[in-house]
Amino acid sequence: MIYLDYNATTPTDPRVLDAMLPYFQARFANPSSIHRAGHEARRAVEKAREKLAHLVVARVDEVYFTSGGTEADNIAVKGVAFAQNKRKKIITSAIEHHAVLTTCEYMTKFGFEVVKVPVDPHGIIDLNFLEDAVDDNTVIISIMHANNEVGTVEPITEISKIAHRHGIVFHTDAVQTVGKLPIDIESMGIDMLSLSGHKFCGPKGTGALIARTGIRFDPLSHGGHHEHNKRAGTENVPGIVGLGKACEIAMTEMAEEEKRIRLLRDKLWNGIREKIPDLILNGHPEKRLANTLGICVRYVEGESLLLHLDMHGICASSGSACTSGSLEPSHVLLAMGIPHETAHGSIRFSLGRYTEEAEILEVIRVFPKIVEKLRVISPLSKK
Ligand SMILES: *Cc1c(COP(=O)(O)O)cnc(C)c1O
- Closest alpha carbon to 72 in 243, 185, 220, 179: 220
Atom 6 of ligand 1: nearest residue by CA position: 69
Statement: residue 3 has pLDDT above 90: yes
Domain boundaries, the chain: 2-7+254-377, 14-249
8 A C-beta contact, residue 63 and residue 55: no
8 A C-beta contact, residue 311 and residue 318: no
Q: Which of 65, 102, 148 to mutate to test the pocket of ligand 1 (most atoms within 8 A of CB)?
A: 148
Helix axes 69-82, 98-107, angle to 10 degrees: 30
CA distance 331 to 338: 10
Task: Enter the DSSP assignment of 114.
Answer: E
| Residues 158-169: tens digit of each pLDDT | 999 999 999 999
Q: Which amino acid is at 142?
A: S
* Strand-by-strand arrangement of the 169-173 sheet: 63-66, 207-211, 192-196, 169-173, 138-142, 89-93, 113-117
The string over 240-258, giving b where at least 16 C-beta atoms fall within 10 Å of a residue's C-beta and e elsewhere, is bbbbbbbbbbbeeebeebb
Statement: residue 220 has pLDDT above 60: yes
- Give the position, in ligand 1's atom list, of the atom nearest the Cα of 70: 9
Q: Which of 9, 100, 199 to mutate to test the pocket of ligand 1 (most atoms within 8 A of CB)?
A: 199
- Give the position, in ligand 1's atom list, of the atom nearest the Cα of 71: 9
> Ligand 1 centroid vs 287 CA: distance in angstroms?
20
- Give the position, in ligand 1's atom list, of the atom nearest the Cα of 146: 13
Atom 5 of ligand 1: nearest residue by CA position: 69
> Ligand 1 centroid vs 77 CA: distance in angstroms?
15
Of 138-142, 145-149, 190-194, 322-326, the range with the lowest mean pLDDT is: 322-326
- Give the position, in ligand 1's atom list, of the atom nearest the Cα of 320: 15
CA distance 293 to 279: 12
CATH 3.40.50.10800 fits 14-249, yes or no: no
pLDDT confidence band for 320 (50 / 70 / 90): very low
pLDDT at position 325 = 54
Rg, the chain, Cα only = 21
pLDDT confidence band for 381 (50 / 70 / 90): confident
Lining residues, ligand 1, CB within 6 Å: 68-70, 97, 99, 144, 148, 173, 175-176, 196, 198-199, 207
- Residue positions counted in the chain: 383
| Residues 232-283: tens digit of each pLDDT | 999 999 999 999 999 999 999 999 999 999 999 999 999 999 999 999 999 9
Statement: residue 183 has pLDDT above 80: yes
pLDDT at position 379 = 79
CA distance 247 to 265: 23
CA distance 51 to 120: 36
Atom 10 of ligand 1: nearest residue by CA position: 69
Task: Enter the DSSP assignment of 311.
Answer: H
Homologous superfamily of domain range 2-7+254-377: Aspartate Aminotransferase, domain 1 (3.90.1150.10)
Known active-site residue 315? no
Q: Which amino acid is at 358?
A: A
CA distance 66 to 193: 12
For the segment 124-145, the average pLDDT, to the nearest whole number, is: 98
For the segment 20-44, the average pLDDT, to the nearest whole number, is: 97
| Long-range pairs for 103-107: beta carbons < 8 A, 24 or more residues apart | 103/73, 103/74, 103/77, 103/78, 104/77, 104/142, 106/78, 107/77, 107/78, 107/81
Q: Which of 96, 143, 150, 176 to mutate to test the pocket of ligand 1 (most atoms within 8 A of CB)?
A: 176
For the segment 213-242, the average pLDDT, to the nearest whole number, is: 96
For the chain, counts of helices (H) and of strands (E): 13, 12
Mean pLDDT of the chain: 96
Q: Please report the DSSP string for 185-245 in residue order.
A: HHHHT-SEEEEEGGGTTS-TT-EEEEE-TT-----SS-SSSHHHHTS-S---HHHHHHHHH
Statement: residue 380 has pLDDT above 80: no
pLDDT at position 99 = 98
pLDDT confidence band for 319 (50 / 70 / 90): low
Largest interatomic CA distance in the chain: 76
Pairing of strands 169-173, 192-196: parallel
Atom 15 of ligand 1: nearest residue by CA position: 148
Task: Enter the DSSP assignment of 330.
Answer: P
pLDDT at position 95 = 98
Share of the chain above pLDDT 90, in %: 95
